[in-house]
Structure 1
Amino acid sequence: MTTTRTILLTGFQAFGGEQVNPSWQAVSALHGVRIVGHRVVARELPVAFGDSLKVLRAALKETQPTLVICVGQAGGRAQLSLERVAINVDDARIPDNLGQQPVDLPVVQGGPAAYFSTLPIKAMREALHVAGLPAEVSQTAGTYVCNHVFYGLMHALRNRRGVRAGFIHIPYSPAQATTHAGSPSLAVETVTSALKLAVRVALKTPSDVRMAAGAEH
């Protein structure tokens, strides 16, 4: 009897005065979907330093995934941002949903300065472009709860062989953009389709492609 392998996708609760978070809307739409012989399990994370990692670690233990992609919102960005690196610092511009606002504190005391994504982010970007979807390789995941989760994810998996993981930021949804004049947006349904394609590429691409996707600043 063949055991179905698992993909863990996470999104976040709403934060910063927003009523919804499109990261969770997009991810939850894929819960139970099968992609390349894997079953998607979606989990919602709190926008809270510390608690987000407790929920994430519990989900990792429960699902024993072979692929993990955490998804968060970066309002103001125009494309899906395939994050390259997570850094070991919490430096919150605004409080989290529990009122916590750490400044210049490590995500993991004594941990390395950074972890790199183990997803084939350049192959994913190329496939998204071919499909007509806006995507970029991003060099910063910020220093808020998204980076906190990204770093905590990679730290939790540092000794777990065969599990690939990373983080994707998405823009505002059109509904949100109506209250953020001039901000770019992307339909939640489009984000869901893009995530499904990104997962498929990650599962079918053992080694990332070599192509320029850097930044000057």
Structure 2
Amino acid sequence: MSRAPRIVVAGYGRWIKAERNPAAQIAELLKTESVAGCELTSVVIPVSSVELPDHVCSILREERPDYWLGLGVNTAGTVIQPEMIGINWRHFSVADVDGAQPECRPIFSGGPDAYNSGLPNREIVQALCTEGIPAQVSFHAGTHLCNQMLYSVNHLSRTLDMPIRSGFIHVPQTPENVADAEDEERTCGSMSLAMMAQAIRIAIGVICDGFTPSTSKAA
């Protein structure tokens, strides 16, 4: 009998652009749920460029997942956006929680220029739109921590000889966060937390539908 897929959902925590980060809120909700029959581990990760590699390595070694699904907020976003590519650059327009604001610096010196997402992003978007949740694939995850997670998980899993399938999804702000924002930021889009959480449940379901034990070498 085939085993259930092991999936890590990693949502970013608070930072200057989102004290109540919807990515963290979704991750917290999923901690108490059973989704699509998978073995789900849901974690909140600090928005720290320096600490991210250690967090990723620790989670990979402990959980040995088949899939990694990162979550972050796009403060200018209006739809659910599965990211297709992570690039080997950090260029922060806003500092992280440690005050770090690197400019034009690689994530890993000597690393590949980019990694493609290993998740079925096109199928995820189709499933979301079918359920009335606006979504669109994105080919640029930015150059902040969201891109750093997408790139780092791909790179570190290979370094650890764990060729898992990993990817990242951007979510919009919640209406509550937009309402609390400064005047000039209240025109950005938003989506209810309930709809965003449902979108991630659907995404996990699509991921699980494509799983076979041979998909990953994770043991």
Structure 1 length normalisation: TM-score? 0.89
Is structure 2 residue 192 aligned with structure 1 residue 191?
A: no
Q: Secondary structure at the match of 2:95?
A: coil
Alpha carbons of structure 1 residues 122 and 17: separation in structure 2 relative to 1, 3 Å: closer
Distance 1:173 1:134 in 2: 14
Q: CA deviation at 1:124?
A: 0.5
- The C-alpha deviation readout for 1:140-172, integer Å capped at 9, x for no partner, is 1100111111110111223424x2110000000
CA RMSD between the two structures: 1.9
Displacement of 1:57 after TM fit? 1.7
Contact 1:32–1:40 (8 Å) recurs in 2: no
Q: In the TM superposition, what are the counterparts of 1:32-47 in structure 2 within 5 Å?
A: 32-47=32-47
Q: Does 1:154 align with 2:159?
A: no
1:37/1:105 CA distance change after superposition, 3 Å: same
Q: Which SS does the other structure have where 1:203 is aligned?
A: helix
Distance of 1:63 and 1:183 partners within structure 2: 37
Native 8 Å contact 1:26 1:191 kept in 2 = yes
Q: 1:38-77, CA deviations, whole angstroms, 9 ceiling, x for partnerless residues?
A: 1211111111112022112211111111111000000111
Structure 1 residue 17: deviation in Å?
4.9
Q: Distance in 2 between matches of 1:132 and 1:205?
A: 22
Contact 1:84 1:137 in 2 (8 A): yes
- Size of the alignment, in residue pairs? 206
SS of the aligned residue for 1:138 comes to coil
- Tell me, yes or no, if the aligned pair for 2:60 and 2:157 is still in contact at 8 Å: no
Moved more, 118-127 or 197-206: 197-206
Contact 2:36 2:208 in 1 (8 A): yes
**Equivalent residues of 1:32, 1:39 under 8 A apart:** no
Which moves more between the two structures, 134-143 or 18-27?
18-27
Contact persistence 1:107–1:148 (CA under 8 A)? yes
The runs of 5 or more residues in structure 1 that have no matched partner are 207-217
- Larger proportion of strand: 1
| Most deviating of 56-65 and 123-132 | 56-65
The answer for unaligned runs of 5 or more in structure 2 is 212-219
**Superposition deviation, residue 90 in structure 1:** 0.5
* Off by >4 Å, runs of 4+ in structure 1: 1-5
The yes-or-no answer on 1:205 pairing with 2:210 is yes
Within 5 Å, which residues of 2 pair with 1:11-160?
11-158=11-158, 159-160=161-162
- Is the 1:48–1:97 contact (alpha carbons within 8 Å) kept by the matching residues of 2? yes
Of residues 86-95 and 177-186 in structure 1, the stretch that sits farther from structure 2 once superposed is: 177-186
In 2, Cα distance between equivalents of 1:205 and 1:7: 13
1:17 and 1:201 map into 2 onto residues whose CA distance is 30
Match of 2:186 in 1: 181
Change (3 A) 1:203 1:2: closer
Q: Which residue of 2 aligns with 1:10?
A: 10
Structure with more of its chain in helix, by fraction: 2
**Percent of residue pairs bearing the same amino acid type:** 27
Structure 2 residue matching 1:55: 3-state secondary structure:
helix
TM-score by length of 2: 0.88
Q: How many Å separate the matches in 1 of 2:144 and 2:75?
A: 13
Residues 84-110 of structure 1, C-alpha deviation per residue, up to 9 Å, x if partnerless?
A: 000000011111110111111110110
